[in-house]
Amino acid sequence: MKIVANWNYPTDIRVGRGRVEELADACRSLGISNPLLVTDRGLANMAITRAARETLSDGGLSHVLFADVDPNPNELNLEAGIAAFRNGDHDGVIAFGGGSGIDLGKCIALMVGQTRPVWDFTESDDGWKQADADAIVPIISVPTTAGTGAEVRRSSMITNSVTHGKTAIFHPKLMPSVVICDPELTVGMPKSITAGTGMVAFSHCLEAYCSPVYHPMGQGIAIEGMRLVKEYLPRAYRDSMDLEARLNMMSAGIMGAIAIQKGLGAIHVLSHQIGAMYNTHHGTTNAVLMPMVLRFNQKAVERKIEKLAGYLEIPGGFEGFHGFLLAFRADLAIPQSLSEMSISNDHLEDIAAQAMANPMAAGNPVKLTLDNTIELLESCF
Amino acid sequence: MKIVANWNYPTDIRVGRGRVEELADACRSLGISNPLLVTDRGLANMAITRAARETLSDGGLSHVLFADVDPNPNELNLEAGIAAFRNGDHDGVIAFGGGSGIDLGKCIALMVGQTRPVWDFTESDDGWKQADADAIVPIISVPTTAGTGAEVRRSSMITNSVTHGKTAIFHPKLMPSVVICDPELTVGMPKSITAGTGMVAFSHCLEAYCSPVYHPMGQGIAIEGMRLVKEYLPRAYRDSMDLEARLNMMSAGIMGAIAIQKGLGAIHVLSHQIGAMYNTHHGTTNAVLMPMVLRFNQKAVERKIEKLAGYLEIPGGFEGFHGFLLAFRADLAIPQSLSEMSISNDHLEDIAAQAMANPMAAGNPVKLTLDNTIELLESCF
């Protein structure tokens, strides 16, 4: 036996319809009296954003809106955000929105008190330990989508405006101190985003569940997260006003982001690489790869999947679960193959080689080699 | 729909064989240079305690052992511990042991900087908010049993030395900042304690799972916690040196204590009352009551139990799970009824009436009334 594990769980999570009204209280609980509210340009003038700002004013808090945030936020957005924070003499950040607003908001809170460049603060080689932790200001996150779990994660993705390369900035204190999940903020999501971000949550849970890492809390959270997606994503997809389904998808997104402490595998390694090369949607790409990666991992995960299918009440064990995945994504109008995503199969060796170089590749239940990874990719066309 | 929830998760949990050697590092990570190590008299001179103390000395940390702790620690133990802490000019607590050492250690850390009496700091009426949170010193917990989860909980049970009444002292900062779970510390547990504390973990998970409260992370953790107990408690019971089983039972104990954020029900309400009246072992009493309470709740939890049985690979749905419980506890030499525990059925009305007064009673899936609670108790003889 060689079980060694370190476990951490977030944070103060407040779930429920209308709870965005607690925003001023949440600020005060963290000693924030003048927050900078960071969101993206698209959200800046929407009704949900105006309503959130009103709850701050009604609660007696001054604040400023900063919305100069690109879809893939970069270091120029970050510099502008830091300047806005300093000019307004703010004392905390509300990171509001989809992934871009939340990722940039968290990074502004990290960087307002640092002297080193943001690119130093990565998880690899413990670069983040060079940050002055005491200079990081408190963060409240308010998600307006459901799936990626950026609202509870300890990293932010920042794009280099020159090279277009993406870097995951990491710090334990990037995890927001308070998370407010109000399903009324997510009803405006387009159908395809509901499906794609929902499948991010499912793929987080499935890969965490299949990971061989010892993390029983992550395993349990992954199981129940998949049950929520199975039950509620079709409902949220059909009826954008189904607030019970929306709320459960917010829970599933958070649970996926927590469960991946346990590990990820080939779905995420390959999806990351394909996304970098073809700019595809992460959740959709994950969903396309999912049944083929499951088949690829069959011999290592078959017994586990049988148990999971038992809980999800899917008859037929492993094969039943595989068939469920195919039908589930078809009902969400997700493409059945990479060909249907208009991706060519000209660069499979490149994709496989770069995937092998990703440290995450080592976590896949079946060992990835260049040859079997190319075969796996071929099976996805 | 009316889903409103607040979720919090602990803490820095370090799991693995031999990890008690990280004790000095853990102290330093919390700024502790001179801890008071609190444990009970029985453990004070055992080899595992001496080894833990040596790792502190080897790590260059001075410390003092305080072991004047009764099996049900009281306010006199607490006063003596506070005096020892002040005399030694300590700056943190290592709460080491079974429930009594951990509960008292946590309470010493709470009380060294307070002016109000300990009895003020309860969860009801937010009494704990009267405590000076900044005066609480950091706590590291090191469990030597597996089951109750005292090592991650935000409460300590303290007995009044005069009235013999027990009070749950509560504060969010009673949750230890670092938990070290080293299965080598638990191999000395007697068989009956292994079984009884293991069943505490199972009953925490089962009642949390059955609770109607919306807490999907708690639900998932409960499911996987029960899988661990089903798989590893019989092994730990048969072979006290089975370290893999011991470690998994430590995980299950922590998971049960976290899952009960979701709620508890009739098992715990009745077991608490019976324990107060007859001084029975909590885990054993829980295990005796469990199948009858499950039957009592059948109509509210049947569908949920079918899903659970699917994950645990127990055939036969609800009835299959009920039969599994009976066989499982028989294999652990747990009594089959309250009669077998030498409890008389003369005071069932008293027990039921007092149980009804417990606020926890409201969380049971089927509403408890005086009449149906008496009937439930009668079915346990």
Helices (H) and strands (E) in chain B, counts: 14, 9
pLDDT at B1 exceeding the cut of 50: no
- Separation of alpha carbons B219 and B256, rounded Å: 10
Question: Would the CB atoms of A311 and B311 count as touching at under 8 Å?
Answer: yes
Q: What is the pLDDT of residue B9?
A: 57
pLDDT at A61 exceeding the cut of 90: yes
pLDDT at A141 exceeding the cut of 60: yes
Q: How would residue A9 be classed by pLDDT, with cut points 50, 70 and 90? A: low
Domain limits, chain B: 12-185, 191-379
Q: CATH topology for A12-185?
A: Rossmann fold (3.40.50)
Minimal-distance CA residue of chain B relative to A220: B220
Minimal-distance CA residue of chain B relative to A252: B216
Q: What is the pLDDT of residue B369?
A: 96
Question: Do B50 and B20 touch, CB atoms closer than 8 A?
Answer: no
R_g of chain A computed on alpha carbons: 20
| Among A162-166, A193-197, B215-219, the least confident range | A162-166
Minimal-distance CA residue of chain A relative to B11: A8
- Paired tokens of A282: 């992460």
* Residue pLDDT, tens place only, A103-115: 999 999 999 999 9
Question: Would the CB atoms of A224 and B244 count as touching at under 8 Å?
Answer: no
Nearest to A183 by CA among A228, A221, A230: A228
Residues of A in contact with B11 (CB under 8 A): 8-9
Q: What is the pLDDT of residue A4?
A: 53
Size of interface A-B (CB pairs under 8 A): 132
Mutate to test the interface with A, among B29, B206, B224 (most CBs of A within 10 A): B224
Q: What is the pLDDT of residue A1?
A: 45
Task: Report how far apart, in Å, the C-alpha atoms of B94 and of each of B97, B100, B339 are.
Answer: 10, 13, 40
Segment B287-291 shows an average pLDDT of 97
| Among A19-28, A160-169, A361-370, B47-56, the least confident range | A160-169
Minimal-distance CA residue of chain A relative to B19: A4
Question: Do B36 and B85 touch, CB atoms closer than 8 A?
Answer: yes
pLDDT at A282 exceeding the cut of 80: yes
- Beta strand residue intervals within B11-80, DSSP E: 12-16, 36-38, 64-66
Mutate to test the interface with B, among A223, A241, A249 (most CBs of B within 10 A): A223
Beta bridge partners of A13: A179, B7
Find the CB nearest B313 among A16, A17, A307: A307
Nearest to B259 by CA among B271, B268, B270, B247: B268
Q: What is the pLDDT of residue A2?
A: 58
Task: Report how far apart, in Å, the C-alpha atoms of A317 and of each of A211, A304, A307, B202, B317 are.
Answer: 19, 10, 8, 26, 16
- Separation of alpha carbons B188 and B179, rounded Å: 20
Taking the CA atoms of residue B194, residue B196, residue B202 and residue B208 in that order, the dihedral angle to the nearest 10 degrees is -140
Question: Would the CB atoms of B217 and A219 count as touching at under 8 Å?
Answer: no
pTM for this prediction: 0.90
Please determine, looking at this structure, whether the domain spanning B191-379 carries the CATH number 1.10.10.10.
no
Long-range contacts of A294-303 (CB under 8 A, 24+ apart): A294/A206, A294/A321, A294/A322, A294/A325, A295/A322, A295/A379, A296/A266, A296/A366, A296/A372, A296/A376, A296/A379, A297/A210, A297/A265, A297/A266, A297/A364, A297/A365, A297/A366, A299/A366, A300/A210, A300/A212, A300/A365, A300/A366, A301/A210, A301/A365
Minimal-distance CA residue of chain B relative to A248: B216
Minimal-distance CA residue of chain A relative to B4: A16
**Residue-averaged pLDDT of chain A:** 93
Q: What is the pLDDT of residue A6?
A: 52
Residues of B in contact with A244 (CB under 8 A): 1, 3
Q: What is the pLDDT of residue A252?
A: 96
- State the nearest Cα–Cα gap between B227 and chain A, in angstroms: 10
* Residue pLDDT, tens place only, A205-247: 999 999 999 999 999 999 999 999 999 999 999 998 999 999 9
Find the CB nearest A219 among B3, B6, B224: B224
Mutate to test the interface with B, among A215, A224, A232 (most CBs of B within 10 A): A224
Mutate to test the interface with B, among A7, A11, A177 (most CBs of B within 10 A): A7
Q: How would residue B2 be classed by pLDDT, with cut points 50, 70 and 90? A: low
* Residue pLDDT, tens place only, B30-49: 999 999 999 999 999 999 99
- CA A237 to chain centroid, in Å, comes to 19
* Residue pLDDT, tens place only, B148-204: 899 999 899 998 999 888 888 999 899 999 999 999 999 888 899 899 999 999 999
Residues of B in contact with A254 (CB under 8 A): 217
- CA A123 to chain centroid, in Å, comes to 17
Helix (H) or strand (E) holding B141: strand B139-143
Question: Would the CB atoms of B15 and A4 count as touching at under 8 Å?
Answer: yes
pLDDT at B11 exceeding the cut of 80: no
**Residue-averaged pLDDT of chain B:** 93
* Residue pLDDT, tens place only, A267-280: 999 998 898 888 88
Intra-chain end-to-end CA distance of chain B, in Å: 40
Find the CB nearest A255 among B10, B217, B224: B217
DSSP B262: G
Residues of B in contact with A309 (CB under 8 A): 310
- Separation of alpha carbons A81 and A52, rounded Å: 20
Q: What is the pLDDT of residue B305?
A: 98
- State the nearest Cα–Cα gap between B154 and chain A, in angstroms: 15
pLDDT at A164 exceeding the cut of 70: yes
Question: Do A246 and A186 touch, CB atoms closer than 8 A?
Answer: yes
Mutate to test the interface with B, among A2, A6, A8, A9 (most CBs of B within 10 A): A9
Question: Would the CB atoms of B244 and A1 count as touching at under 8 Å?
Answer: yes
This model of the complex carries an ipTM of: 0.88
Within 13 Å, how many C-alpha atoms sit on residue B123's CB side? 13
Question: Would the CB atoms of A6 and B17 count as touching at under 8 Å?
Answer: no
Q: What is the DSSP string of A113-149?
A: T-SS-GGG--SGGGGGGGS-GGGPPPEEEEESS-SS-
